[in-house]
Amino acid sequence: METKNRTIFFEVCNLSISFGGLDALNDISFEVHKGEIFSIIGPNGAGKTTLFNCINGIYKPDGGHIIFKGQKIQGKRPDYVARLGIGRTFQNIELFTHMSTMENLMLGRHRYIKAGLLRGAIMWAKRSFAGREEVAHRRKVEEIIDFLDLQSVRNKFVGSLPYGTQKQVELGRALAMEPELLLLDEPCSGMNSEEKQDMIFWIKDIQDALGITILLIEHDMKMVMDISNRILVINFGKIVTEGSPEEVQKHPEVLRAYLGEQDNLENIA
């Protein structure tokens, strides 16, 4: 009874999408609880990123529901989904490359900024409405810059930053939106081990300190097993299994589909 009365935080229900004859996702269902780190793993081409694209509205699924805070969001526009409080980072970084780090993060605040043309035009001092608003948002962005150690690149064009730092800026921009659900698509790809350690630390911190629920796609098995509360395994667009890291590691199909050979068992344990 209890589970029925509780409002579902985030749920995907019988989601399907196909491109041409290819079933990219086939009858995917899972639920994410508030405050957890929920990882999605699977081999390349399994449909992980497609799933993210369905969630934040880039693709319109052929069937099924996606429910966020009691509201159906499948087929809605990406900007609408973003305004509901779902943030996202990409596997291949999508930043405003000709803007500074600060400006990128300020764009994350876009949905909160209220001063329109008129009030913006009469912004002469810090005491005006637009002035106060600007100060408040900059303060928030500065907090994120401190949180992610981005002080040194605050005013640099992000296009010229190293790859790992760009990933950080993208994470920062997603955080600036103050999302309730954050979709991270391979946040550690292309990073060196030191940057990876930092990223893992921040992801945990985002969960603990900021209370943001995280949906994570990642190939680094050690990291996934380390930080996830629960894991969903998909392959060829279908669910293989779902459960805690311990359960998933023992699942025979996971070993076959994801790791190929029995010998690799020790590596993930």
Partner 1 sequence: MGELVQTLVSGIAVGSSYALMGLAMVIIYKTSEVINFAQGEMALLSVFLTYMVLEYYHFPFYVAFPSALAFALLLGFFLEFAVLRRAKEPNVLGMIIITIGLEMILMGFVSWKFGAEPKTMRFPLSPYDSLSLGEIFVSSLEALTFVVALTLMTVLFLFLRYSKLGIAMKATQQNKMAARLMGIRTNRILMITWGISSLVGCTAGLLIAPTIMQPYMMWDPMLKGFAAAVLGGMTSLPGSVFGAYIIGVVENLFGGYVSIEFKSAVAFFIIVLVLCIKPSGLFARHYVKKV
* Sites of contact with partner 1 (CB under 8 A): 56, 58, 77-79, 82-83, 87-88, 94-99, 106-108, 110-111, 113, 115-117, 120-121, 157, 159-160, 173, 177
> For strand 230-235 and strand 238-243, is the pairing parallel, antiparallel, or unpaired?
antiparallel
CA-closest candidate to residue 36, choices 229, 268, 265, 196: 229
| Long-range contacts of the stretch 20-24 (C-beta < 8 A, 24+) | 23/236, 23/237, 24/50, 24/237
Closest distance to partner 1 from the beta carbon of 105 (Å): 10
**Toward partner 1, which CB reaches closer, 107 or 268?**
107
**Toward partner 1, which CB reaches closer, 35 or 85?**
85
Q: Which residue has the tokens 């694209």?
A: 53
Closest distance to partner 1 from the beta carbon of 88 (Å): 6
Label each residue of 159-197 as H, E or C.
HHCCHHHHHHHHHHHHHHCCCCEEEEECCCCCCCHHHHH
Closest distance to partner 1 from the beta carbon of 120 (Å): 5
Closest distance to partner 1 from the beta carbon of 266 (Å): 39
Are the C-beta atoms of residues 99 and 158 closer than 8 Å to each other? Answer: yes
Residue 103 one-letter amino acid: E
Are the C-beta atoms of residues 24 and 234 closer than 8 Å to each other? Answer: no
* Alpha carbons 126 and 136: distance in angstroms, whole number: 10
Closest distance to partner 1 from the beta carbon of 170 (Å): 8
**Toward partner 1, which CB reaches closer, 169 or 248?**
169
Closest distance to partner 1 from the beta carbon of 77 (Å): 7
**Toward partner 1, which CB reaches closer, 81 or 200?**
81
**Toward partner 1, which CB reaches closer, 8 or 58?**
58
CA-closest candidate to residue 205, choices 141, 148, 165, 143: 148
**Toward partner 1, which CB reaches closer, 46 or 86?**
86
**Toward partner 1, which CB reaches closer, 148 or 248?**
148
Are the C-beta atoms of residues 212 and 188 closer than 8 Å to each other? Answer: no
* Alpha carbons 170 and 187: distance in angstroms, whole number: 9
Closest distance to partner 1 from the beta carbon of 133 (Å): 10
